[in-house]
Amino acid sequence: EAEVAQSPRYKITEKSQAVAFWCDPISGHATLYWYRQILGQGPELLVQFQDESVVDDSQLPKDRFSAERLKGVDSTLKIQPAELGDSAMYLCASSLGRESEQYFGPGTRLTVT
Amino acid sequence: AQTVTQSQPEMSVQEAETVTLSCTYDTSESDYYLFWYKQPPSRQMILVIRQEAYKQQNATENRFSVNFQKAAKSFSLKISDSQLGDAAMYFCAYRRYQGGSEKLVFGKGTKLTVNP
């Protein structure tokens, strides 16, 4: 069964360093989402892509976060510089499109020291 | 603004018993979707069940069923014949559309423990 792949699974970085996460959605899924899940909370959407275009990045802290999906397939989420408050699980999800089920990856757990 | 509230941070159930997880939501829309997701420890989140607001019949998936009360904006999940593998975080979610975007708004979750 096809799954959403994410790497790395765990990342420890120091404050002020740059960090990047990668997501490979299920083949054929046009819509890709990045969520942030702080410990003890539900996931919150950071950015949504439709193919290679951003359709919602209203909750993305654009001074330090960036996201791209250059060829409309895999995606990278970057944080520069990382801050202590960025420690969280970063989840990627994909779907065929509007009103389709979202499938989640295993996530990347980020710890900023 | 759409919000989702799960008032039970933790619940426990004995194996083979039934447990109900609560969820309330706030919306001004008339047509929407609600979901329950399961997040096992160190594993990805998976969809358990979904409910379309225009359908009055409660959704059912094997041992999982919902009690959808649209007027009360309540959406509870019932797990029958609980199994050890049901232990996980459970998140209630509302699907929100805004412009061209579509996103899930999640509650804070309920941690379910299943006791043997």
What's the mean pLDDT in A20-43? Answer: 95
Does the beta carbon of A18 lie under 8 angstroms from any beta carbon of chain B?
A: no
A33, B103: Cβ pair inside 8 Å?
A: yes
Buried b (16+ CB within 10 A) or exposed e, A37-57: beeeebbbbbbbbbeeeebbb
| Minimum Cα–Cα distance from B109: chain A residue | A42
| pLDDT at A98 (0 to 100) | 77
Q: Which of A104, A97, A3 minimizes the C-alpha distance to A55?
A: A97
Per-residue pLDDT of chain B (116 residues; tens, 9 = 90+): 669 999 999 999 999 999 999 999 998 888 889 999 999 988 889 999 999 998 889 999 999 999 999 999 999 999 999 999 999 999 999 998 777 778 899 999 999 999 99
The partner residue sitting opposite A55, judged by closest CB among B42, B50, B101, is: B101
Per-residue pLDDT tens over the stretch A48-71: 999 999 999 999 999 999 999 988
| pLDDT at B49 (0 to 100) | 97
A106, B43: Cβ pair inside 8 Å?
A: yes
What's the mean pLDDT in A19-45? Answer: 95
Q: Number of helices and strands (H, E) in chain B?
A: 0, 12
Per-residue pLDDT tens over the stretch A17-31: 999 999 999 999 999
What's the mean pLDDT in A81-86? Answer: 97
